[in-house]
Amino acid sequence: MNIAKAIIGKITYKPIILGNKSNYLFVNDNCKIKDGYAAFISNKYSENTKNQSIVYGVKNLDYLKDGDIVSIEPDGKINLLYQKQSDHNSLFITEKCNCSCVMCPQPRTNASHNTISMNLKLISLMDKKTKSLGLTGGEPTLIGGALIDIINECKKKLPHTSLNLLTNGIMLEDFEYAKKLAMVEHHDLLIDIPLYADTDIEHNKIIGSNGFYKTIQALYNLALFEQKVGIRVVIHKLTYQRLPHLAEFIYHNFPFVFQIAFMEMETTGLAKKNIEELWIDPYEYNQELKKAVVYLQQRCMNVSIYNAQLCILDKKLWPFARKSISLWKNIYLEECRDCIYCNDCGGFFETSLKKHSEYIKALKS
């Protein structure tokens, strides 16, 4: 009721005595309404709510915690944008992208939603003790200088928060843009850039754009300005065979990178659409992955494996496996229930229920 446009606010179950009430959404299952709040969320309806912005009849209120940030749409839909207790929060910068990767889980659109003001509002409401925050899309650099403003705002409002910018790096080929990003001097910014092959033909085929040399120039620009840079490699049928060659290419050309992550593919979005072209059972590329990881590890490079399950990895690769899947889309299969390593395993994307390795099994010793 009485919600003409989206309202963004911080959840509170307790009355606000000091501070700006208009930044808060008061949650109360008794419909005891107080003035000054941006809106109210309740599981009941009361006559005294007629002139208030409110969503009532909401079930499972316990899902919302103090300090979480949500948006309320005019139709009553509540979107959870930030969880105070989570280490996997992110800002969605834009839906647009200058690539069309064959395995992209978040396909690009031409939508022109203005997320800049919403993200600035989110930053202002976030808990100062937030440990980490992702900046993702689409391609974040496509909003140009506004991305610099967002990173600068994070530096001011979240002084103890580490940032992880996920970008294809193409726009950072521009020396001046890379320089402006570096001049923010954020205390803990990691810029992760994908590199899918050691040849321009293979890499460009995967990203659907002529971006190979632009991405390489971006890596050198960022290194020149002493930025912390990571390289990400998504593994599928088009990339797995050249993993050892790619590892050599990375070591010889980018010895300055902070980390390298080899990632199991998320089977949604364009990956689902192109599944026949892309799918290979992760168990089947163990040898190529092991050669690549060991090669980099022996040269003292920081290498990790994301999104993988321990039961299908070669034992020598276990020390490199990370629990990397965001909690809100991380699941385990029925087969995992009796596995003694379940708590140490990265698990699955929720979209992996229908498409996953045939070698998944519970390890009991």
Kindly report, residue by residue over 16-25, the tens digit of the pLDDT. Answer: 887 789 999 9
- Give buried/exposed letters for 217-252 (b at 16+ CB in 10 A, else e): bbbbbbbeeebbbbbbbbbbbbbbebbbbbbbebbe
The domain ranges of the chain are 7-79, 90-353
pLDDT over 80 at 104, yes or no: yes
pLDDT at site 70:
96
Q: What pLDDT digit, counting tens, does each position of 111-121 carry?
A: 666 789 999 99
What is the sign of the dihedral through the CA atoms of 101, 105, 110 and 113? negative
Range ranked top by mean pLDDT from 63-67, 160-164, 348-352: 160-164
Q: Model confidence at 33, in pLDDT bands (50, 70, 90)?
A: low
DSSP state of 317: G
DSSP state of 352: G
Task: Give the pairing of strands 132-137 and 162-166.
Answer: parallel
pLDDT at site 134:
97
Q: Model confidence at 95, in pLDDT bands (50, 70, 90)?
A: very high
Q: Which helix (H) or strand (E) holds 117?
A: helix 116-125
Spell out where 13-148 has E strands. Answer: 24-27, 39-41, 54-55, 69-72, 78-82, 90-94, 132-137
Which residue reads 């629990």 in tokens? 323
Q: Which residue has the higher pLDDT, 351 or 298?
A: 298
pLDDT at site 50:
66
Distance CA 286, CA 323 (A): 18
% of the chain beyond a pLDDT of 70: 97
% of the chain beyond a pLDDT of 90: 81
Closest CA to 52 of 66, 72, 82, 68: 72
Which distant-in-sequence residues (6+ apart) come within 8 Å of 343 by Cβ?
A: none
pLDDT over 80 at 69, yes or no: yes
Token reading at 346: 């990265």
Q: Are 24 and 10 in contact (CB under 8 A)?
A: yes
pLDDT at site 283:
97
Q: Model confidence at 35, in pLDDT bands (50, 70, 90)?
A: confident
pLDDT at site 112:
61
pLDDT at site 17:
83
Token reading at 205: 């085929």
pLDDT over 70 at 174, yes or no: yes
* CATH 3.20.20.70 describes domain 90-353: yes
Question: For 364, phi and psi rounded to 5 degrees?
Answer: -115, 5
Token reading at 214: 């632009």
User: Environment class of residue 60 by beta-carbon count within 10 Å: exposed (0-12), middle (13-18) or buried (19+)?
Assistant: exposed
Task: Report, as an integer, the average pLDDT of 273-290.
Answer: 97
pTM: 0.93
The mean predicted confidence, pLDDT, of the chain is 93
Distance CA 162, CA 158 (A): 9
pLDDT at site 57:
86
pLDDT over 80 at 31, yes or no: no
Q: Model confidence at 46, in pLDDT bands (50, 70, 90)?
A: low
